[in-house]
Amino acid sequence: MSGIAGLAVTALLAAAAGSPLLSRAAFRGLTAPARVVLSAAAGAVLLSFAMTLFSFAGVSWNVAFLAGTAALIAALAARGLGIPAEPRAARAAVPPLASAAAACSIAAVLAAAAATESGAATSVDLFFFWGPKAQQFAAARGVDAAYLDEFFHRFMHPYYPPLVANLQAFAALVTGRFAWGAALATFPLLLAALAIALPGTLRAAAPARGLAAAASALAVGAVALIGIRAGIAGNGDMPLVFFEALAVALLLRADARAPGIELLSGILLAGAATAKVEGFVFALAAAALALVPRLRAPDTLPASAVRLLAPPVLALGAWFLFGGSRGLFRQSAEYGPFGVLHLEHARGITAAIGATLAHTAKALPYIVPLACLVAAGRPTRAALLPLGLAAAVVVFALFAYLHMAGDPRLWIEWSAPRVLMPVPVLLALALYAGRAGGEPGREGRSPR
C-alpha cells in the first residue's frame, strides 16, 4: 500500500474509532465536515491512548484490535456521560465573506502542500527522532523502551509524550512500512483538516458564519506561513496546533458548557498534552481558564472539571505509568533542573526570539493576526480564554529557554517560530470570540 493510501486508511480508522462519540446527537450543533474531522481527531487521541495502554500491559499492537479498543473507549465515554441531544446545526446560505475566506484557506493549504512536496518545509526532527521512533515502534509492535533507553538513542528524547510517534507507527502498521513521504504530508493534510473543521466548530449561530470562516482562514494562513518558513513537515508541531485550535474553538462555542462539547474538548486537550511537552501546559491552562467562568455555577463545576481534565490526565497517566515502569524519565531534566532559572540569559533570550521571529517572514505571521485583533476593536470578555492561553504559551517558552545553563540562542533559533506557532492561531480565535453573538457557554448548560 502506498504511504498516502496508508495515511488515508489510518484517518478513516481514526474517524471510525471516534464515531461512537461524534455520531451522538450531542454533536448535531456542529457542521457535518467538522464532525467528521473531530471524529478522526478524537479517534486518533483514543488510538494513541490504547497503544500506550497496550504497551504498558505488554500486548502487541494489532491494527484492528487497537481501532476496536479506541472505538469501545469512545462508546463508553459517550454512554457513561449520558450526553443529551442538542439542536441540529441550522443550514444557511454561504455569505460571500465565507467564500472568500475559504479561498484564502485553500490557497494557504496548497502553499503548504507545494512546500512539502518540493522539500521546502521538511522538518529535520522527523528524520532525527519522530520517524525513527515510530518506525521502531511499528517493528516492535509496541513502544520499544529498550530502543529508547540505548545510550546512543537518548537524543530522541525518550521521555517525550507518545502520541505523534504512536500515530505514525499506527500508519506504518497499516501501510506495511514507515512511509517518510506520508509522514511529511501530515503537515498539509492536518492543515487542510483544520481549515475544514475550524469554521464549522466555531460557528454556533448562522450570522457568525462569515466571521468564523475569516478567523479560521487567518489562523490557517499563519500556520501555513510559519510551517513553511520554520520547516514543520512531519514533526509534532502541526498535530499539536491542530488539537489545540480545535479544543479552544469548542470552548468558544455558545454551547461550550454542554457535557458533550466539554468532553470532546477534553479529549482534544489530551491530544495536545500527549503530542508535545508544551501541550501539557497548554491543556492545563486551557482547562483552568475555561473553568473560571464556571465557578459561578458550583453545582456543575466538578462535572465540568472532570470532563475537561480527565482525558488529559488519563492519557498522560498512561504514558507516565509506562515510562515510569521502564525508566524512561531519567533524561527528562536534560534542559536543566525545574526550579533553576538562568535569569542572566533573559535579555539575550528576548533578543534571540525577536531576531528569530524577524527571520520567519519578517514576523508577519505573528504580527498580522495581532494587528487584525487590534483593528477589530476592543477584545470581548470571551477573548480572555484564547488571549490567556497565548500568554501561557509565551511564558512557558521563556520559562523553558531560561532553564538552559549554556547559551540558548541556537536552541531558540531552531525552535521559537514553531513553539510560538499557537500564538497567532489563538489571536485569530480571540478576534472571533464574543463577536459571534452570545458569550461562550451561554447555551447548553446542563444540571448534569
Site for another protein contains 357 (CB under 8 A) = no
Give the per-residue contact string, 239-278, with another protein (x = CB under 8 A; - = no): ----------------------------------------
| Grid cell in block for residue 314 | 488519563
Site for another protein contains 355 (CB under 8 A) = no
Stretch that binds another protein, among 24-32, 159-167, 227-235, 315-323 (CB under 8 A): 227-235
Site for another protein contains 159 (CB under 8 A) = no
Minimum distance between the CB of residue 150 and another protein, rounded to whole angstroms? 10
Burial class (CB in 10 A: 0-12, 13-18, 19+), 337: exposed
Site for another protein contains 146 (CB under 8 A) = no
Minimum distance between the CB of residue 220 and another protein, rounded to whole angstroms? 7
Site for another protein contains 409 (CB under 8 A) = no
| Grid cell in block for residue 49 | 491512548
Please say which residue, 17 or 115, places its beta carbon nearer to another protein.
115
Please say which residue, 200 or 231, places its beta carbon nearer to another protein.
231
Minimum distance between the CB of residue 101 and another protein, rounded to whole angstroms? 6
Indicate the DSSP class of residue 117: H
Site for another protein contains 94 (CB under 8 A) = no
Taking CB under 8 A as the criterion, the residue among 121, 190, 192, 273 binding another protein is 121
Binding to another protein (CB under 8 A): which residues in 372-401?
372, 375-377
- Residue 185: CB partners within 8 Å, gap ≥ 6? 3, 4, 7, 113, 116, 233
CA distance linking residue 154 with residue 93, whole number of Å: 55
Indicate the DSSP class of residue 85: P
Please say which residue, 115 or 287, places its beta carbon nearer to another protein.
115
| Grid cell in block for residue 366 | 505573528
Site for another protein contains 76 (CB under 8 A) = no
CA distance linking residue 444 with residue 448, whole number of Å: 11
Please say which residue, 296 or 378, places its beta carbon nearer to another protein.
378
CA distance linking residue 120 with residue 35, whole number of Å: 32
Site for another protein contains 104 (CB under 8 A) = yes
Please say which residue, 215 or 389, places its beta carbon nearer to another protein.
215
Stretch that binds another protein, among 243-251, 294-302, 305-313, 365-373 (CB under 8 A): 365-373
On the CB side of 315, how many CA atoms lie within 13 Å of its CA?
A: 33
* Cα–Cα nearest to 154, from 272, 331, 19: 331
Please say which residue, 73 or 183, places its beta carbon nearer to another protein.
183
CA torsion through residues 265, 18, 325, 397, sign: negative
Taking CB under 8 A as the criterion, the residue among 65, 128, 338, 399 binding another protein is 128
- The one-letter code for the residue type at 64 is A
Binding to another protein (CB under 8 A): which residues in 161-220?
178, 180, 184, 207-208, 210-211, 213-215, 217-218, 220
Give the per-residue contact string, 417-436, with another protein (x = CB under 8 A; - = no): -----------x--xx--xx
Site for another protein contains 140 (CB under 8 A) = no
Do 267 and 253 touch, CB atoms closer than 8 A? no
Taking CB under 8 A as the criterion, the residue among 115, 148, 185, 423 binding another protein is 115
First to last CA, the chain: 47
CA distance linking residue 237 with residue 360, whole number of Å: 16
* Cα–Cα nearest to 166, from 265, 68, 54: 54
Please say which residue, 303 or 364, places its beta carbon nearer to another protein.
364
Site for another protein contains 131 (CB under 8 A) = yes
Do 187 and 233 touch, CB atoms closer than 8 A? yes
Do 60 and 54 touch, CB atoms closer than 8 A? yes
Q: Please spell the DSSP secondary structure of 15-38, one letter per residue.
A: HHHHHHHHTSGGGTTS-HHHHHHH
Please say which residue, 259 or 440, places its beta carbon nearer to another protein.
440
Site for another protein contains 363 (CB under 8 A) = no
Please say which residue, 83 or 428, places its beta carbon nearer to another protein.
428
The percent helix, strand, coil of the chain (3-state, each to 5) is 75, 0, 25
- 122 phi/psi in degrees, rounded to 5: -60, 135
Q: Which residues pair with 122 in a beta bridge?
A: 233
Please say which residue, 28 or 153, places its beta carbon nearer to another protein.
153
Stretch that binds another protein, among 17-25, 344-352, 369-377, 400-408 (CB under 8 A): 369-377
CA distance linking residue 15 with residue 249, whole number of Å: 19
Residues binding another protein (CB under 8 A): 97, 100-101, 104-105, 107-108, 110-112, 114-115, 117-122, 124, 127-129, 131-132, 135-136, 139, 152-153, 155, 178, 180, 184, 207-208, 210-211, 213-215, 217-218, 220-222, 224-225, 228-231, 361, 364-365, 368-369, 371-372, 375-377, 428, 431-432, 435-437
